[in-house]
Amino acid sequence: PLCALLPKSTDEVRRVVILANREKVPIVPFGGGSGLMGGALSLHRGIVIDLRAMDNILEIDPESRMARVQ
């Protein structure tokens, strides 16, 4: 990859996405790292965004079975 980033807020992710979109650089999200297929590898001049630091649960709605996380 071109670089790997570890954002700590949705605002940091937003700024990376805006910059990458403007420069036409692909983004590959990375979460827990439990996959065996190498899906988080950027094969061509891309940005890997490691989202593991964004582990805050903001809201859980048991009725709709939805969670809002950051």
Q: Which domains does the chain have, with CATH numbers?
A: 3-69 (3.30.43.10)
The arithmetic mean of pLDDT across residues 21-26, rounded, is 94
Buried-exposed string 35-67: b where 16+ CB fall within 10 A, e elsewhere: eeeeebebeeebbbbbbeebeeeeeeeeeeeee
Q: Note the residue count of the chain.
A: 70
- pTM greater than 0.85 (yes/no): no
Q: In the structure, what pLDDT confidence band is assigned to residue 54 with cuts at 50, 70 and 90? A: confident
Q: Is the pLDDT of residue 21 over 90?
A: yes
Cα radius of gyration (the chain): 14
Q: In the structure, what pLDDT confidence band is assigned to residue 42 with cuts at 50, 70 and 90? A: low
